[in-house]
């Protein structure tokens, strides 16, 4: 996350890390983010992970992550593997919408190294339920329980 912030990538944390930040107890080993899918922003993603040997993790041949402006225009999602682990950059989030909708349904977490945007609890629940995998439904269940006991403060 810090690398993405340092390279001024426009993104909102979603998925398991978002859930953990809201208090979900499930463990995750990857970072999922909804990003603005412009050529400029995708090149920032590339710069953020360039020295981490990134490759497209859904390709059989471990294709290196190398962007062209033409490719940027076609991409909807990026699924990368780096030396630090898995990174998924999505242009749209199930149950929430495109980057602009995700941004509108996000909250800011203040961290020691700066502000970080994550989906708000309601949007995180909607996303998890829209995906519908057992693990996501379990996270949605925990988020609903957290929502019931936590005072509403915009998060």
Structural domain including 52 reads 2-149
**pLDDT (mean) for 126-135:** 96
CB-based contact 33:96 (threshold 8 Å): no
138 within a domain of the structure (yes/no): yes
Residue 9 lies in a domain: yes
pLDDT at 155: 47
* pLDDT computed for residue 116 by the predictor: 95
Number of domains in the chain: 1
Residue 152 has pLDDT above 90, yes or no: no
Is residue 155 in a domain?
no
Q: What's 105's domain CATH number?
A: 3.30.460.40
List, in sequence order, every beta strand (DSSP E) within the chain.
11-14, 30-35, 55-56, 77-82, 85-90, 92-93, 97-98, 106-111, 114-119
Which pTM was predicted?
0.92
Q: Is residue 59 one of the residues assigned to a domain?
A: yes
Q: Is residue 34 part of a domain?
A: yes
| Structural domain contains residue 118 | yes
């Amino acid at each position: 996350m810090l690398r993405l912030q340092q390279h001024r990538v426009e993104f909102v944390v979603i998925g398991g890390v978002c859930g953990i930040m809201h208090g979900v107890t499930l463990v995750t080993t990857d970072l999922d983010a909804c990003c603005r899918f412009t050529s400029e922003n995708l090149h920032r993603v590339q710069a953020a992970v360039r020295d981490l040997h990134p490759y497209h993790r859904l390709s059989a041949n471990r294709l290196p992550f190398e962007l062209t402006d033409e490719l940027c225009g076609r991409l909807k999602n990026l699924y990368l593997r780096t030396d630090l682990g898995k990174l998924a950059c999505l242009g749209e989030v199930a149950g929430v919408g495109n980057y602009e909708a995700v941004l509108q349904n996000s909250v800011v977490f203040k961290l020691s190294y700066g502000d970080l945007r994550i989906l708000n609890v309601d949007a995180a629940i909607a996303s998890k339920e829209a995906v519908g995998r057992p693990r996501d439904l379990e996270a949605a269940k925990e988020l609903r329980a957290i929502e019931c006991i936590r005072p509403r403060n915009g998060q």
